[in-house]
Structure 1
């Protein structure tokens, strides 16, 4: 199906928006009236630019508070509408959006609204323009698409039809099934937006918190399925009011937006394959990853990470034969340390590798979804890894799972030591810090490209504010990627990334690591008093937890014991033992960890910059 997007959904001047939408691959756009008013291009110039870019101009919007008024007011509304029709004609746009009235001086009468829409249709016909009537979720009296359809039926005018907007239907909890009873040729336009599940007034929810399909909680695939069942053959158009998208790069946002429509079409096609054949964009099928292959840390100097890994019992498994890259292993966990093209970089998570059932299928799916390709130089005798760049800049690669056998790329590392026995089983999860402007995009990216699902977001209190966390995962938990959005703070501190490793016996690992000199992240004594009181843990167990700076959590399904290392650069390690069927992350312990990390950062700065008796400058960078 054709794709379109409202210019209100992305940032920039109107001409910038048109260029971005065309470059992304959209077929058309909805023109938002304020964009035209603020433009220094005439309607004719805008129309010509769209034609050169290959974009159709599908809708002009909005006309507000037109119907359901007294006759004197309606006469003025017709004058206002005619001015809008003239502008739309100059733009070459054949459909105008008319919103249901939200004003207080409104008549609650289907007959009045229908009669006025009929007369508006007569005026629109003189300009060969259609009127698409939309029930706003906060309309004064008309806030349900079923009532707006009743009024359109009463108007009985060939130039008057419906605009259906998923937000206005689903945010009010209206059942979209009755859409199937509407003739498809009377649905003049379709607008789509997702949204998170929030408890707030619907107007603020709509104006600030809409999302692209796949990022929220709405069943958009089911909604579109109902619409297509009517025979509707117009474009799938996005109208997303969101404070973030209106501040970010329009080229990137446009690609992000089109990816969401491609993903949505694929979901709808799965519901109705026969109906969708030839109408919807199909995406190559690929099963989700079934495990982590590796995690890569990059820095100009990785020696501090090597010390940590050695203290934790990892084995150095060799240096790459052509690159300044080393491999460390423990159990099935593989950590790659990369010093290539890393000048001035401090240690950070730069790449993640997945094991997938079919690498070629994942590559085809990523290409269909316009995922940016990750490029790495590979020589002829080296295994080529397919990869993409996630919205936060992390590179994500994949190889076909080999039935328990090590992947082929490991043979490229030489002069390693035999792997020692270790309580570490593998990588449990990788926690990635997200810039505020890419967090929603990352959810869609991981959902669409890799088939991960999103857990409900949580907010974790920290010493500098709330950290918003949302876990992306496979159903079986073989892949877990918590995405953290940290608050902005003025002192330069930040929430670091971390890699969590699953262990068979985390206490034994902690004991051995301490013997090798590991510097644990310290846990305050008050925490252990809290654990003893909350969970009723016996004194010997509490003493053991305290001795090794271990943290503890319990659920009805099992127990969780874990510890943290110090932070190096912008990354630290966590080692976890899941007992029974515990499936969480020790979320209640996160504030303890954040406070301890903050304290360590402050102490380092004081000793390095200010001295023990001086205050830390307010603008000091508190990273270690």
Structure 2
């Protein structure tokens, strides 16, 4: 069934700050100018962008745990966004939080980071934290979903003290939650009103439908079976997930690798889909993922929240792609209209 114009109208649009800019001179203020001029009304503030801006603003190297400096800088970022009429939708990406052993240094660090990021959220004026499903190896965090749920409940309660929310996202290379069904199950078990989903066209299609380690670029199963299962997954999402539990939708496509990726982790410990995510994610209609299918499924829930463009376009070979900031932001805004039209026609 096609979506109506009413179901696809008045969708607010956001851009992830870390996913625009390919040169050193593409600073956060320049990114904000391009994003605002293209007509976007919000940003996802990427922690790496805040770090880089803080070092420039403070005129010294600011580290990831220098929260006093980061809070000062976040207040300046808020003022810059206010001047551009940009909402800071979310602070991201908060990663590798859940699952650490009680009493471990890693668990202490996870909660230290949470406390620091909450301070930054307050300073920059956002009420939402994006949390990616952990990709820490299972031998370190285990596979007990109950423990993951308990940790996320604690984080949710920390956020609730400030009336903040958590958007939990499936990363397609995650150790324990690579699909939308995984994170939806966890969010239901966490059972907190301030916890919902960050859904992502790349992350879901990039696990259920595509695989960068195969010759075809697809999950290794008969094509008709793959297509049937993918359609069923999208239909289930549209039926099962309430619109108010989707906090926002991230948008990107993927290039089919020219050569299959190695199946092993690289020297940094990153899995193949993690490497793929880093450099091979163009705007929709420039890759090969079924972006329209997933977007349409999300809209069928009744969702009318933010579409956020998170595009890591290193070109078809992933080695880098030079572009002008404003041109790239304008292209993304034009793609938004094309995507909504495709959802109406599909």
TM range (shorter): 0.7 to 0.9
Correspondent of 2:310 among 239, 248, 259: 239
User: Could you say what secondary structure the match of 1:190 adopts?
Assistant: strand
Task: Give me the whole-angstrom Cα distance separating, in 1, the residues matched to 2:287 and 2:313.
Answer: 13
Q: Retained in 1: the 8 A contact 2:129–2:166?
A: yes
Task: Give me the whole-angstrom Cα distance separating, in 2, the residues matched to 1:153 and 1:123.
Answer: 18
Task: Give me the whole-angstrom Cα distance separating, in 2, the residues matched to 1:246 and 1:184.
Answer: 36
2:212 aligned residue: none
State whether structure 2 residue 166 is matched by structure 1 residue 131.
Answer: yes
Determine which structure has greater relative contact order: mean sequence separation of CA pairs < 8 Å that are 6+ residues apart, divided by chain length.
2
Give 1:17 shift.
0.3
Task: Give me the whole-angstrom Cα distance separating, in 2, the residues matched to 1:228 and 1:30.
Answer: 21
Task: Give me the whole-angstrom Cα distance separating, in 1, the residues matched to 2:113 and 2:325.
Answer: 31
Shift of the 4–246 alpha-carbon distance from structure 1 to 2, 3 Å rule, reads: farther
Correspondent of 1:54 among 85, 88, 113: 85
Task: Give me the whole-angstrom Cα distance separating, in 1, the residues matched to 2:100 and 2:247.
Answer: 24
State whether structure 2 residue 336 is matched by structure 1 residue 261.
Answer: yes
TM-score computed with the length of structure 2 as normaliser: 0.75
Larger-Rg structure: 1
Give 1:3 shift.
0.7
Give 1:197 shift.
2.6
Task: Give me the whole-angstrom Cα distance separating, in 2, the residues matched to 1:248 and 1:64.
Answer: 29
1:142-161 to 2 correspondence within 5 Å? 142-161=177-196
Give 1:94 shift.
1.2
Q: Retained in 2: the 8 A contact 1:32–1:61?
A: yes
Q: Retained in 2: the 8 A contact 1:212–1:240?
A: yes
1:54-203 to 2 correspondence within 5 Å? 54-72=85-103, 73-104=106-137, 105-173=140-208, 175=230, 176-177=233-234, 178-180=236-238, 181-198=240-257, 199-200=260-261, 201-203=272-274
Give 1:85 shift.
1.1
User: Could you say what secondary structure the match of 1:128 adopts?
Assistant: coil
Q: Retained in 2: the 8 A contact 1:214–1:263?
A: no
Task: Give me the whole-angstrom Cα distance separating, in 1, the residues matched to 2:191 and 2:295.
Answer: 25
Task: Give me the whole-angstrom Cα distance separating, in 2, the residues matched to 1:220 and 1:140.
Answer: 24
Give CA-to-partner distance per residue, 1:385-408, whole Å, 9 cap, x none: xxxxxxxxxxxxxxxxxxxxxxxx
Give CA-to-partner distance per residue, 1:218-249, whole Å, 9 cap, x none: 22222111101112221111111122577421
Give 1:35 shift.
0.3
Q: Retained in 1: the 8 A contact 2:202–2:291?
A: no
Task: Give me the whole-angstrom Cα distance separating, in 2, the residues matched to 1:29 and 1:19.
Answer: 11
Correspondent of 2:283 among 209, 212, 232: 212
State whether structure 2 residue 64 is matched by structure 1 residue 29.
Answer: no
Give CA-to-partner distance per residue, 1:504-558, whole Å, 9 cap, x none: xxxxxxxxxxxxxxxxxxxxxxxxxxxxxxxxxxxxxxxxxxxxxxxxxxxxxxx
Q: Retained in 2: the 8 A contact 1:6–1:238?
A: yes
Give CA-to-partner distance per residue, 1:336-372, whole Å, 9 cap, x none: xxxxxxxxxxxxxxxxxxxxxxxxxxxxxxxxxxxxx
Task: Give me the whole-angstrom Cα distance separating, in 2, the residues matched to 1:139 and 1:14.
Answer: 29
2:65 aligned residue: none
Q: Which has the higher strand share?
A: 1
Task: Give me the whole-angstrom Cα distance separating, in 2, the residues matched to 1:64 and 1:125.
Answer: 19
Q: Which residues of structure 2 form unaligned runs of 5+?
A: 1-10, 58-72, 210-229, 262-271
1:2 aligned residue: 12
Q: How many residues are treated as equivalent by the alignment?
A: 271
Give 1:149 shift.
0.9
User: Could you say what secondary structure the match of 1:214 adopts?
Assistant: coil
Q: Which residues of structure 1 form unaligned runs of 5+?
A: 272-624
Give 1:76 shift.
3.0
Give CA-to-partner distance per residue, 1:177-196, whole Å, 9 cap, x none: 22221111111121111112
User: Could you say what secondary structure the match of 2:142 adopts?
Assistant: coil
Task: Give me the whole-angstrom Cα distance separating, in 1, the residues matched to 2:111 and 2:248.
Answer: 22
Q: Which has the higher helix share?
A: 2
Shift of the 246–123 alpha-carbon distance from structure 1 to 2, 3 Å rule, reads: farther
Q: Mean alpha-carbon deviation: is it higher for 184-193 or for 15-24?
A: 184-193
User: Could you say what secondary structure the match of 2:308 adopts?
Assistant: strand
Give CA-to-partner distance per residue, 1:572-613, whole Å, 9 cap, x none: xxxxxxxxxxxxxxxxxxxxxxxxxxxxxxxxxxxxxxxxxx
Q: Retained in 2: the 8 A contact 1:86–1:127?
A: no
2:29 aligned residue: 15
Give 1:62 shift.
0.8
Task: Give me the whole-angstrom Cα distance separating, in 2, the residues matched to 1:179 and 1:30.
Answer: 24
